[in-house]
Structure 1
Amino acid sequence: MSVRPNQDVAAALGVLLADSYILALKTQNYHWNVVGSDFVQLHTLFGDQYEALSGAIDEVAERIRALGFPAPASFGEFAERSSLKSTAGAPAARDMITALRDDNLAAAKSAYAVIKAAEAVGDDSSADLATGRVTEHEKAAWMLSALLG
């Protein structure tokens, strides 16, 4: 089936892109600023997670472009679209873990919205991309939850 560009899919991908960008920025902040007895473990985990998000951001943006739409690419556009809230400062390590767990679950929800929009128009490529993002965000949330006990 040939897929036509679809504004609903591109819009849902734009939300996922914004969520991914805000999450990557927050994760990088926490990677830089975590302190405490679990520093090495958390510094490494947060670093791995934000590096993975960087690749995902590019993949989502390129899919939006492949559909024929401009990818949002400014802090203002990301803040406008994202279901996540950017944070400043360095909360306690446990609060960082909780925030990142919750944000990964929210990003997974945004990816599910892409799947729904893509399936409605037979866009298997966008649905497949979003399915991969659900898997990664839910895995990250599980790992973070495990740290909380």
Structure 2
Amino acid sequence: MTDTVNIGLEPEARQQTADALAKVLADTYTLYIKVQGFHWNVTGPQFNALHNMFEEQYIDLRDAADEIAERMRALGAACPGSFAQLLELTAIKEQTEIPSGTAMVKELLADHETVSRTAKAALQTAEQAGDDASGDMMVQRMQVHDKTAWMLRSMVA
């Protein structure tokens, strides 16, 4: 943690928020890799719809990971920068098989709900620390993941 950061938050509060953000970053990046793999490998009657939807998701996740990492740096914290570090922090399970399109949708539904819960925990940490900027970012991420989960849920209803 960089002690020269003077943004109105105590070092301990910044570290607690950064630690919570690191979990969101790990979930986001792990989900990004999974969604991109599904985008590349989806087959079946829903190919076009799923291929395009997965592309939209992985682009959003890529951009979100960068924003979360940049917020961690603004707090004076280092970001996890290896797959080993990310896998240690994430709640998202890796997928090494190629499931059916429907199974992909169900798995991503559960994963987006997981990331939303991780973001909610980070929001609570940020609020306790008085870190409005990180809290606002987590609210935005929760909205995206909740909406995406709703869309995926609607596909398998």
Stretches of structure 2 lacking an aligned partner (at least 5 in a row): 1-6
Partner of 1:32: 40
Alignment identity in percent?
Answer: 40
Q: Which has the larger radius of gyration?
A: 2
Q: CA RMSD in A?
A: 1.0
Secondary structure (helix, strand or coil) at the match of 2:77 reads coil
**2:8 is aligned with what amino acid?**
S
Aligned residue in 2 for 1:8:
16
Taking structure 1 as the reference length, what is the TM-score of the superposition? 0.97
* Counterpart mapping for 1:46-85 below 5 A: 46-85=54-93
Shift of 1:26: 0.4
Query: Structure 1 CA distance, aligned partners of 2:91 and 2:126?
Result: 19
Q: Quick one: which amino acid aligns to residue 79 of structure 1? A: L
**CA deviation vs aligned residue, 1:49-88 (integer Å, no higher than 9, x gap):** 0001010000000011110010111100000000111111
Q: What stretches of structure 1 of length at least 5 have no aligned partner?
A: none
Structure 2 equivalent of residue 18 of structure 1: 26
Match of 2:94 among 86, 99, 102: 86
Distance, in Å, in 1 between the alignment partners of 2:20 and 2:130 is 15
Looking at structure 2, the residues matched to 83 and 89 of structure 1 have their Cα atoms a distance apart, in angstroms, of 18
Say whether the 8 Å CA contact 1:33–1:90 is kept in structure 2. Answer: yes
CA contact (8 A) 1:101 1:145 kept: yes
- 8 Å CA contact retained: 1:107, 1:137: yes
Contact residue 94 and residue 148 of structure 1 kept, 8 A = yes
